[in-house]
Amino acid sequence: MTPELTHFVGGKLVPGTSGRFADVSDPSTGAVQARVPLASAAEVTAVVDAAAEAQREWARWNPQRRARVLMKFLDLVRADEDRLARLLSSEHGKTVADARGDIQRGLEVVEFAVGIPHLLKGEFSDSAGTGIDVYSMRQPLGVVAGITPFNFPAMIPLWKAAPAIACGNAFVLKPSERDPSVPLRLAELFGEAGLPPGVFSVVNGDKEAVDTLLVDPRVEALGFVGSSDIAQYVYEQAAAHGKRAQCFGGAKNHMIVMPDADLDQAVEALIGAGYGSAGERCMAITVAVPVGEATADALVERLAKRVRGLKVGASLDESVDFGPLVSAAAVQRVRDYLDIGIAEGAELVVDGRDLTVPGHENGFFLGGCLFDRVRPEMRIYREEIFGPVLCIARAADYEEALRLPSEHEYGNGVAIFTRDGDTARDFTARVNTGMVGVNVPIPVPIAYHTFGGWKRSGFGDLNQHGPDSVRFYTKTKTVTSRWPSGAKESASFVMPTMA
C-alpha cells in the first residue's frame, strides 16, 4: 500500500476527503513513494475557517511571547535536522548536504523573525501640533497564505511563514504537491513549539486549492513563488479580489566573466552555481557571459573538463555532486530544450543525456550539459530550462555583456567576476536586475536584507524577508490624538493644517 499523506489543520494531521491525489516520487528510483491529497474548495475553506478563528487570539499575544514560540521552533528543527534533510532529499532529489542548506536558509529567516518585535514598533511624533501627538501602529492583516514551489520545500515556506506569524497573522501554506512531507513535518514542529492550533496550517492541493484561496475574502494577502506565468496569474487574481500579493517567478541568471577575472575562481563558481541541485534553483547561474574570445575559449575549455567529470547519482549518496531532477516530466522538459538548442544552432560541447546511474536505472537523472555559442534570439537563451544545463553566450565587450542580463525578460540574480573595482561598481549601478553578486555567483541576500527579482521574476512591490516582510504582513494605522481640557473650540470649516 502506498502511504497516504495528509493536510495539517487545527494543529493536527488530517486526511484528505476530496478523493483526489497526486503521486509523490522518489526521484532517485523513479518509484512512487506516497500519495498526497489534493484539497477540494470545501476543505480549503475549512482551513481558512480554522485560521481565522485562531488568528484573533494569536494577535492578542504580545509580540515577544509570539517570538518565543519561534525560538523554541528553531531548537526543535535543529534537533530534527538530519531526519528532515533526508526526507527533503528523498522527495526532491537534491543531495542531503544541499537539503541542509535549504533548511538552514529557512531557519535564518526564523532567526530574523524572532527580532520582529523591534520592527513592529510604530512611529511617534510628539507635539505635531499644539497638544497633538501623531503615532502609527503596525497591525496584523489576519489570515495570509503562501503558495510555494517544489525546489525549496523548507526554505521558502519558512521565508513566508515566520515573518507572517511573528507579525500576528495566521498562515495557510499550500506547498508544492511534489514534495509536501517537509512542510507537514515543519507544521508538527510548530505545534510542538507551542504555536496555537490554526495559526500555521498546511493544505495540500493544486489549482483548485490556489483558486479557492484567491477568492476567499478572509485571505488578506498571498505570497507566491514558482514559475512566472502562474506568478502573474496569482498576482492579477489577488489584486482583482482586493488582496495584497508578492509573487516571485522564474529566472535566467547571467554571470559575466571579465578578461581580468581569476579564471579558476570563475570556473568553480560556475560549476557550483550552474549544476548544484541539478540546476533546479531560481538563483542558479544558467548563462555564462565571457567577455572577449580569448576569455571565452579558455573558459569553455576548462568548464568542459569539469562538467564531464561531475558525479551524478542517488540523492542520499554522499559522494555525488548532484542528484536526479524532481520528476520524469522535468527530465523530458530539459531533454526537449537540448533538442531545441541543437536545432537552433548552439554547440552542445558536453552532452549529459547518455548518463545511467547503476542500480538506479529508473531514476530521473540527467548528466551535466554545456552549450557554447548561444545567441540572445534562441529559445534556450530566452526561456528558463531548470536543469543541469549551462549556456555560454559570448560577448565582444563589457557593454554587450551588461546589456544581455539588463535586456532579458527575467531579472532575478546576476553576477560579475572581475578583479577591477571600477568595472564592478559600474556594473552594480547599471544592471537591470534585482540581486547582484560581485565575485559571488549566487547572491541570495541574508535574512535581514530582502530577496526579490525584477521584471518577470517578481510581481509586486515588496520583497521577501528582511524589513519588507514586516511591511507586507502588517497594515499601518495612524492615530492623531489630543486631550484638550477647558474651553471647547467652535466648529471649524477650514481644512486643519500644521501652519
* Identified binder of ligand NAD from the candidate list 23, 111, 133, 206, rule CB under 6 A: 206
Please say whether the beta carbons of 318 and 420 come within 8 A.
Answer: no
Residue among 196, 245, 217, 253 at smallest CA distance from 391: 253
Residue 257 burial class via C-beta count within 10 angstroms: exposed 0-12, middle 13-18, buried 19 and up: buried
What are the E-state strand segments in 236-284? 244-248, 253-257
* 14 binding ligand NAD? (CB under 6 A): no
The x, y and z cell numbers of residue 177, run together, are 504537491
Binding footprint of ligand NAD, residue count (CB under 6 A):
26
Give the contacts of 419 (CB within 8 A, at least 6 positions apart). 258, 260, 261, 262
Give the contacts of 62 (CB within 8 A, at least 6 positions apart). none
Q: In the complex with ligand NAD, which residue's Cβ is closer, 147 or 170?
A: 147
* Identified binder of ligand NAD from the candidate list 58, 275, 371, 386, rule CB under 6 A: 386
What are the E-state strand segments in 328-397? 347-350, 369-372, 389-392
* Cα torsion 392, 393, 396, 400: sign: negative
| Cβ 200 to ligand NAD shortest distance, Å | 17
* 93 binding ligand NAD? (CB under 6 A): no
Please say whether the beta carbons of 460 and 238 come within 8 A.
Answer: no
Instruction: Give the CA distances from residue 431 to residues 131, 291, 404, 494, in Å, rounded to whole numbers and listed in that order.
Output: 49, 16, 9, 49
| Cβ 279 to ligand NAD shortest distance, Å | 10
* Identified binder of ligand NAD from the candidate list 85, 210, 269, 289, rule CB under 6 A: 210
The Cα–Cα gap between 109 and 77 comes to 13
Q: In the complex with ligand NAD, which residue's Cβ is closer, 98 or 384?
A: 384
Stretch that binds ligand NAD, among 103-111, 188-196, 223-231, 302-310 (CB under 6 A): 223-231
For ligand NAD, what does the binding mask look like between residues 434 and 473, x meaning CB under 6 A?
Answer: -------------------x---x----------------
Residue of 247, 282, 369, 391 marked active site: 282
| Residue 392: strand, helix, or coil | strand
Catalytic residue status for 282: yes
One DSSP character per residue, 404-416 reads HHHHSSEESEEEE
* 384 binding ligand NAD? (CB under 6 A): yes
Give the contacts of 328 (CB within 8 A, at least 6 positions apart). 25, 30, 364
Show contacts with ligand NAD in window 230-249 (CB under 6 A): 230, 248-249
| Cβ 116 to ligand NAD shortest distance, Å | 21
* 159 binding ligand NAD? (CB under 6 A): no
Inter-residue long-range contacts of 493-498, CB under 8 Å, 24+ positions, other chains counted: 496/129, 498/128, 498/129
| Cβ 398 to ligand NAD shortest distance, Å | 27
Q: In the complex with ligand NAD, which residue's Cβ is closer, 138 or 456?
A: 456
Stretch that binds ligand NAD, among 203-211, 238-246, 390-398, 414-422 (CB under 6 A): 203-211
| Cβ 386 to ligand NAD shortest distance, Å | 6
| Cβ 437 to ligand NAD shortest distance, Å | 15
Q: In the complex with ligand NAD, which residue's Cβ is closer, 169 or 450?
A: 450
* Identified binder of ligand NAD from the candidate list 226, 324, 367, 466, rule CB under 6 A: 226
Show contacts with ligand NAD in window 318-337 (CB under 6 A): none
| Cβ 173 to ligand NAD shortest distance, Å | 9
The Cα–Cα gap between 121 and 299 comes to 51
Question: How long a stretch of residues is the chain?
Answer: 499
* 207 binding ligand NAD? (CB under 6 A): yes
Q: What does DSSP say about strands 124-129 and 347-350: parallel, antiparallel, or unpaired? A: unpaired
Q: In the complex with ligand NAD, which residue's Cβ is closer, 5 or 266?
A: 5
Q: In the complex with ligand NAD, which residue's Cβ is closer, 141 or 156?
A: 156
**CA max distance for the chain:** 91
Helix axes 41-58, 207-215, angle to 10 degrees: 50
Stretch that binds ligand NAD, among 14-22, 75-83, 143-151, 414-422 (CB under 6 A): 143-151
Nearest residue (beta carbon) to ligand NAD: 226
* Identified binder of ligand NAD from the candidate list 96, 119, 166, 282, rule CB under 6 A: 282
| Residue 258: strand, helix, or coil | coil
* Cα torsion 59, 65, 67, 68: sign: negative
| Residue 65: strand, helix, or coil | helix
* 149 binding ligand NAD? (CB under 6 A): yes
| Cβ 59 to ligand NAD shortest distance, Å | 27
Footprint of ligand NAD (CB under 6 A): 147-152, 174, 176-177, 206-207, 210, 225-227, 230, 248-251, 282, 384, 386, 412, 453, 457
Just list the catalytic residues: 282
